[in-house]
Structure 1
Amino acid sequence: MTDGANGTDGATYAWAPPEPTKRKNRSGLWIGIPAGATAVALIAASLVLIAPGASVAGVQIGGLTAGAAAQAISTRLAQTAITVESPAGEVTVTGADLGASVDAAALADKAFSENPMWKPSSWFPQGTGVTVAVDQSAAAVALRDRAPGTYRAPVDATVAYDAGSQTYVTSPAEAGEGIDVAAVTAALQSAFDSGTPATTVDAALVPVEAPVSTEEADAAVATLNGVLDTAGFYVGDERTVTVDRATAASWLTVTPDGKGDFAISADTSAIEQAVAGLPGAVDRGAVNADVIVDSGGEVIKTLTEGQTGRALGDTAGVAAAFAAQLADGNAKYSLAVSETPFETAKTERRIDVNLSAQTVTLYENGQVYRNWSMSSGKTGWETHTGTYRIGWKTSMQDMGCAPGYDWCTKDVPWVAYFNGDEAFHGTYWHNNFGTPMSHGCVNLTVNNAKELYDWAYKGTEVSVHY
């Protein structure tokens, strides 16, 4: 023994090695950590996963996130294959070929919202149905490309200007023929609903309507012919400068978009040529009106129509603005003008018949215009007194030459009636003016009757008195 220690009794002792400290058993902790983490992970996963057994159409999406479910739905639809038995044989197209789509993201989000994994009561829900949308144009193209022998292209309706009739006319659409897209779409829907990745369908040939219909072309023709009917430069409601149909048509270009719309455009530079001549056609001086009125100022005859003077304003930009209007189908271009009003000259006319003096006096504006001797109705045929107006007039007629009359005077000239069968007229059978001689009429010389006939318009007032 090399090492030791002296005790109090003088003996030397050797130290026994100390007993090692008992270590704590931590194995349970290490085993528990993975189990706890797994449980936490499972709980977390249940918060973002769709419940087991959930499906959209025939696509199982249980246990997937909403994003993964959306991808699964879209992929299944795109890959679903339809074998079409057509008159040209069998062809196969997929949902992708047909332009098929569903709102997969919305469907997946809805499935998770209604059936989350964390909610056991929502597990194994009833499947969700969905309507598949098919791009009809893409489907028709896919079927045409795979079975060209089944396809006959439709012919679009067209619009053109016919110079002979000076109108726009329609060439009608003609339907084509192709595989029934509706039958193929129904087969795709059925396969997708049932979760079948592939199916077969018999599809007949059906008419294929033209993208541009006859009705759409007719509507464009109606607009264009409306343009030709009304094309011009207007001052108010007056078409002051008319644009003839052929010229208006030469300004226009009609461009179809292949979908039924016919865009109209107009040549601004061509319109400029018409605008250059506008001042000569629009500008004018005022013309005063000349009218005949009665004693109350009412017009009984317009001798000259009044006309407002006008001068065209600045024409810069008119051509471009008119071109823009024509593109919208509006061919009435309103011009800006400054106007000068006209004045109206009024002449009052009336006739006075004085039975006592046996005179006829014509008055203009209260002044004597003419005064003549006359012969009124003789005894038993007296001319009636009263206020009347000139009515019917005739340059010549026979008088009294009818049953019930005991006289007949042929070819009486310049007759102007004012009261029933009483009239002013010319007299060639006597010259005894100033003395009552007639059967109620007012006799005048032929020349005087002619002047009154021309001077007294219908509506002229006649006063007969003693």
Structure 2
Amino acid sequence: MTDTGSTPTAPATSASSDASATHAWAPAAPAKRRHRGAWWSGGIAVATVVALVTASLVLIAPGTAIAGVPVGGMTPGAAAEAVSTRLHQTQIVLTGPGSDASVTGADLGAEVDAQAIAQAVFSERPMWNPSTWFAEASHAQITIDRDKAVATVRSAAPQLFTDPTDAVVAYDAEAKTYIVTPAAPGTGVDIDAVLASLQTAFSAGETTVEVRPESVPVEAHTPTFVAQAAADQLNTMIANAGFYVGDERTVPVDADTLASWIELTTDARGAVQMTADIAAIQQVVDTLAGQVDREAEPTTVLADGNGNVLNTLTEGRSGRTLDSTDDIATAYAEQLAAGDAAYVLPVTVTDPAVTKVSRSIEVDLSEQRVYLRQDGAVVTSFLASTGTPSFPTFTGTYRIGWKLTIQNMGNEDLTKPPYYYTENVPWVMYFNGDQAFHGAYWHNNFGNVMSHGCINLRVGDAKYLYDWAPNGTVVWIHA
């Protein structure tokens, strides 16, 4: 059968089929479509809200400013960067006569603790808290690198600066002393005033500020008082410079020599520093042994017959030998650099030997002569005048008890014992009660008895005996 394009008819049913049922072929009804519009739109809204909430947790509240820099809606890191950038780019214009220079905050070494400030602002004013929105600006304290700022301003406006003159310490060879040339101050720009102007402008949100530089004195790197202290120390060193054995300055170092050894410089703080020439010091060290070494010299003491020391006749001297001179020059150079010019030498000391001598005085009445003996041998002798038979000089062994350089003898009242009076008797040496050796200026009859019991001597001989015989010297008188 030819297809005519009409709807096909169903085939005939069998005879046994339900005659009332009707069957036909037809396409299935299309499935019912789901509507997604509502949940999709809701998801977008939720995501947006979540994003906003999340942002509010990491951003600074709107309307917030640090100094004059708006930072609302920024993260703390971005805020810190914005604050630092604004400060570094702020222009400082130096005004005034002969000055039209301009520098930036970065040129001055200006800084703020932007990270800490931004973090503190965020902690106090987070976006999620509307009550903190549009609050007053937070303060940001500026600091500057003072040395960098001075160098920058000086480079930009050199006419605003004059250099100070340092104090100088120098050796005056004529006066043999160190003297000081005083310091003179210079002039510069008041950096604190520049910083104050920058702080005011930055806090107000201004990106350019005009500053009329204020002149201030600039102290010298080495002020006068520092130089004077160094000169005083050097002059003290001159006064005691040398090589010592104990407390004795055995080898002095004169001012010119010391000054030739020392070089003066100043350090970064302006302090005066001393360094010493080791090679020059070594030339003197090489001569030390010849000036230090010496033999011991004995001490001589006067003793009585029992060996008891009565007096020191000659003071001995210890011997000494300089030990190794290795490293003395280096050690002394270090000591000079520290301000100490008295170097104690290493020496071996030998104590002096002690020699005892014995002295005695012999008076021979029969000869009317006095003998001075040392270790038994006669040193010298003098004629004397001893006591008359009425006033004898007593024999025996005595000791000189006390001595007087001059004395009035007797009694001014001649009616009373001893019935004589003599003024200004010199070089008196008592040995037995009121009997004594003494000078007699009133007669020249020596070699004959003349006295009231004393032993008269010529004045010069009496002086010699006075100096020769100390208290305790033995006196032997015999006929």
TM-score grouping bracket, smaller chain normalisation = 0.7 to 0.9
Q: Which residue of 1 aligns with 2:103?
A: 93
Cα gap change, 1:398/1:120 in structure 2, threshold over 3 Å: closer, same or farther?
Answer: same
The CA deviation at 1:403 is 8.8
- Paired residue type of 1:456: A
Match status 1:456 vs 2:456:
no
Paired residue for 1:132, among 133, 142, 163?
142
Q: Deviations over 1:385-408 (max 9, x none)?
A: x99864554xxx795799989755
**Deviations 1:309-338 (CA, angstroms, capped at 9, x unpaired):** 23322x222222322222222323333233
Contact kept? 2:292, 2:320, Cα under 8 Å: no
Structure 1 stretch 364-373 or stretch 162-171: which is displaced more?
364-373
The match for 1:39 is 50
Q: 2:320 aligns with which of 304, 309, 315?
A: 309
User: How far apart, CA to CA, are the structure 1 residues paired with 2:264 and 2:388?
Assistant: 78
User: Residues 156 and 400 of structure 1: is their aligned pair in 2 closer, same or farther, counting only changes over 3 Å?
Assistant: same
Shift of 1:146: 3.3
Distance 2:131 2:310 in 1: 96
AA aligned to 2:224 is: T
- With over 3 angstroms needed to count, the CA separation of the structure-2 counterparts of 1:99 and 1:165, relative to structure 1, is farther
| Conservation of the 8 A alpha-carbon contact between 2:400 and 2:430 | no
Check whether the contact 1:351–1:461 (CA below 8 A) recurs between aligned residues. no
Q: Which segment drifts farther, 320-329 or 300-309?
A: 300-309
- For residue 187 of structure 2, give the secondary structure of its aligned residue in structure 1: strand
- 1:427 aligns to 2:437 (yes or no): no
The SS at the match of 2:166 is coil
Higher CA-based Rg: 2
Question: Using a 3 Å threshold, how does the CA distance of structure 1 residues 371 and 253 change in structure 2: closer, same or farther?
Answer: closer
- Deviation at 1:252? 2.0
Shift of 1:450: 4.0
Residues 61 and 22 (structure 1), Cα distance of their counterparts in 2 relative to 1, 3 Å cut: closer
Question: 1:215 & 1:32 partners in 2: Cα distance?
Answer: 81
Which residue is 1:270 aligned to?
Answer: 280
Q: Verify the 8 A CA contact 1:425 1:449 in the aligned structure 2.
A: yes
Find the residue that maps to 1:338 and give its secondary structure: strand
CA distance in 1, matches of 2:319, 2:10: 145
For the residues of structure 2 that align with 1:117 and 1:144, how far apart are their CA atoms? 45
Alignment of 1:176-215 (within 5 A): 176-215=186-225
* Pairing 1:252–2:262 present: yes
Amino acid paired to 2:300: D
Match of 1:231 in 2: 241
CA offset digits 1:181-218 (Å, max 9, x no partner):
44333322322333332233444444333232222222
Q: Which runs of 5+ in 2 are unaligned?
A: 1-7, 415-419
Q: Does 2:280 align with 1:280?
A: no
- In the alignment, does 2:28 pair up with 1:28? no
Instruction: Identify the match of residue 320 of structure 1 among 330, 333, 336.
Output: 330
Sort the Cα spacing of 1:196 and 1:426 in 2 relative to 1 into closer, same or farther, 3 A: same
2:95 alignment partner, SS class: strand
- Deviation string 1:212-243 (CA, Å, 9 cap, x unpaired) is 22222222323333333333223333333222
Does the Cα contact within 8 Å between 2:169 and 2:231 map onto a contact in 1? yes
The answer for the alignment partner of 2:343 in structure 1 is 333
In structure 2, how many angstroms separate the alpha carbons of the residues matched to 1:76 and 1:359? 119
Report if the CA contact (8 A) 1:378-1:437 is conserved: no
Structure 1 contact 391–418 (Cα < 8 Å) conserved: no
The 1:447/1:91 distance shift into structure 2, 3 A limit, reads closer
Report if aligned partners of 2:388, 2:450 keep a CA contact under 8 Å in 1: no
Deviations, residues 403-439 of structure 1 (Å, cap 9, x unaligned): 98975568x65455899x996422362548788616x
Once structures 1 and 2 are overlaid, which stretch shifts more, 286-295 or 87-96?
286-295
> What percent identity do the matched residue pairs reach?
39
Secondary structure of the structure 2 residue equivalent to 1:168: strand
Whether 1:241 and 2:254 are equivalent positions in the alignment is: no
CA drift at 1:39: 2.3
- 1:120-160 CA-to-partner distances (Å, cap 9, x unmatched) read 66666655445433444444443343334443322222222
Secondary structure (helix, strand or coil) at the match of 1:218 reads helix
Q: CA 1:35–1:407 in 2, change beyond 3 Å: closer, same or farther?
A: same
Matched, 1:290 2:300: yes
| Deviations 1:83-110 (CA, angstroms, capped at 9, x unpaired) | 3332324443333333333444444454
- Alignment deviations for residues 238-285 of structure 1 (CA, whole Å, 9 cap, x no partner): 333222221222222222246412232222222221222222222233
Structure 2 residue 162 is the aligned partner of structure 1 residue 152: yes
Look up the equivalent residue of 1:425 and give its one-letter code. Answer: H
Rounded to whole Å, the distance in 1 between the matches of 2:105 and 2:456 is: 105
**Is residue 2:153 matched to residue 1:143?**
yes
Alignment-mate amino acid for residue 133 of structure 1:
T
How many residues align structurally?
449
Q: 1:237 to 1:118 in 2, by over 3 A?
A: farther
- TM-score, reference length from structure 1: 0.72
Question: How far 1:24 sits from its partner (Å)?
Answer: 8.2
What secondary structure does 1:86 align onto? coil
SS in structure 2 of the partner of residue 101 of structure 1: coil
Residues 87, 341 of structure 1: alpha-carbon distance in 2 compared, 3 angstrom cutoff: same
2:39 aligns to what SS in structure 1? Answer: helix
Residues 296 and 352 of structure 2 are in contact (CA less than 8 Å); yes or no, is this contact kept in structure 1?
yes
Q: Is the 8 A contact 2:182 2:224 kept in 1?
A: yes
Contact 2:407 2:428 in 1 (8 A): no
Aligned to 2:28: 17
CA root-mean-square deviation: 5.2
